[in-house]
Amino acid sequence: MTPQGSTPSQVAAALWPAPRWALALLLAMLGMLGPFAVDTYLPAFSGIAQTLQATPAQMQQTLSAFFLTWAVMNLFHGALADSFGRRPVVLCGLAMFALASIGCALAQTLEQLVLFRALQGLFIGIGTVVSRAVIRDLFAPTDAQKVMSQVAMYHALAPAVAPLIGGWLYVLVGWHSIFWLLTGIAVALWLAVYKTLPETLAPEHVQSFRPVPLLRAYRLLLTDGRVTLLAMTSSLPFCAWFLYVLSAPSFLGEHLALRPTQFFLLFVMTVIGIIGGSWFSGRLAGRITPQRQIQLALGLMIGVALLNLLATLLFKPDVTWALFPLAGHAFGWALVMPSTLLLLLDLYPARRGMVSSLQAFFASASIGVMSAVFVPLILHSTALMSLTMLILSVGGGLCWWVIRRRWPGIGRTLSG
């Protein structure tokens, strides 16, 4: 318990006496489950298809089911955390994810794998959604941006390490071992959260989970144009470079002629971009306004996407250059994400969990639509991939332009 009248710094120190980087590491590890659940099994895509006698289009269902259930449940993770607390929701989610991963490891048919991947998706978003609320529960905006940048830097290691581990596990042991690894990670995180993570939801911010107040809150947030547009400002550019992750088996294996054990090169480049952008975002915290930071990041991403399209049209795609635009675009996304997220969380301080849920919903729903609808249509052409990247980047810029026109005060001050 902390005394009334305590400053945010005193509250944070009382609830988390350990170094700030340790909290950032724990929260980043919770968010790492998502990349690990996707990126570790991409190198085994063809092997799983052969074992289960599935076509590439059918295997795409394992991604689509995962992302679509992830998107739907993202609507509820934050509301649950606002009502029942951050800790119990995270612990429950990790336990259920571990059980779903066991189901994937034991799957004998494509239908079984799709089912358990969908169950994984139901719980995979809890760590990310709740960790953002935890950070804003504990820290003032400037410090929160620094912690979020630290989390993003740690979190960025997962996309680089996951495909490397997945590729070698597939080659040496078989694809089932990938899901046993996910089970072990979930169990280890459950123990870490149980022993170390405090409850950060303030008693005065506890919300009712009864249907009528809950629906009223959803209606309030979903009809607030600021919430929708801020969420899409970061979600659309995220999809712009993540479409290459979703298309990795074709982009890397067919267009760039890489072996499964070389897939990690894509993720190494994006990780370099995310770590660089996150570090730069932390350095900018408290020095420039969120408005300027968002504009800088969006301009960078649109420029990189345009150069990527021109290069793809002029030159034959090759590993010597084709991955560099992804690093530059990921740098811009890591720069835009903390500012847009903090602006979102500060719109409704008593509903931070639900706001975080809605942002995650827009991101995961966008990815789900990309995976199910657009990726199968564009994965045969690198020109279409780069054009889609540009369209999505411009879409994020247009969302921010509308915000600036309708609510010019958003992001003008350092405090958010």
At residue 308, the pLDDT reads 95
Q: What is the pLDDT of residue 8?
A: 57
What is the per-residue pLDDT for 379?
A: 86
Per the CB < 8 A criterion, the answer to whether 44 and 175 are in contact is: yes
Chain segment 236-291, per-residue pLDDT in tens? 999 998 888 888 888 888 898 888 777 778 878 888 898 899 899 888 888 889 99
pLDDT for 105 equals 93
Asked whether the beta carbons of 333 and 281 are under 8 A apart, the reply is: no
Q: What is the DSSP letter of 203?
A: G
Would you state the pLDDT for residue 366?
83
Q: pLDDT (tens digit, 9 = 90+) per residue, 372-411?
A: 788 888 988 999 999 999 999 999 999 999 999 999 999 8
DSSP states of 366-400? HHHHIIIIIHHHHTT-HHHHHHHHHHHHHHHHHHH
Residue 410 burial by CB count (10 A; 0-12/13-18/19+): exposed, middle or buried?
A: buried
Query: Could you read off the pLDDT of 323-361 as tens digits, one per residue?
Result: 999 999 999 999 999 899 889 988 988 888 888 888 888
Query: Which structure tokens are listed for 231?
Result: 């969420």
Give the mean model confidence (pLDDT) for residues 36-45: 84
Quick: pLDDT tens for 49-100: 888 888 877 887 888 888 888 888 888 888 888 889 999 999 999 999 999 9
Residue 28 to residue 409: CA distance in whole angstroms = 31
Cβ contact 167:260 at 8 Å: yes
Q: What is the DSSP string of 283-303?
A: HHTTTS-HHHHHHHHHHHHHH
CB 189 within 8 A of CB 36: no
Q: What pLDDT does 152 receive?
A: 82
Average pLDDT in the 117-127 region? Answer: 91
Residue 132 CA, distance from chain mean position: 11
Cα separation, 174 vs 170, in Å, equals 4
What is the Cα–Cα distance from 225 to 266, expressed in whole angstroms?
A: 35
State both tokens at 395: 């879409």
User: Which amino acid is residue 355, in one-letter code?
Assistant: V
Task: Give the contacts of 326 (CB within 8 A, at least 6 positions apart).
Answer: 241, 244, 266, 269, 270, 273
Greatest alpha-carbon pair distance for the chain in Å reads 64
Residue of higher predicted confidence among 3 and 139: 139
- If pLDDT is split at 50, 70 and 90, which confidence band does 414 have? low
Residues 238, 228: Cα–Cα separation, whole Å:
15
Q: What is the sign, positive or negative, of the torsion defined by CA atoms of 51, 55, 61, 63?
A: positive
Does residue 228 register a pLDDT over 50? yes
- What percentage of the chain reaches a pLDDT higher than 90? 38
Report the pLDDT value the prediction gives residue 6, as an integer from 0 to 100. 56
- Mean pLDDT across the chain, nearest whole number? 87
pLDDT band at residue 186, thresholds of 50, 70 and 90? Answer: very high
pLDDT of residue 416: 41
The pLDDT of residue 5: 54
Give the length of the chain. 416
CB 102 within 8 A of CB 372: no
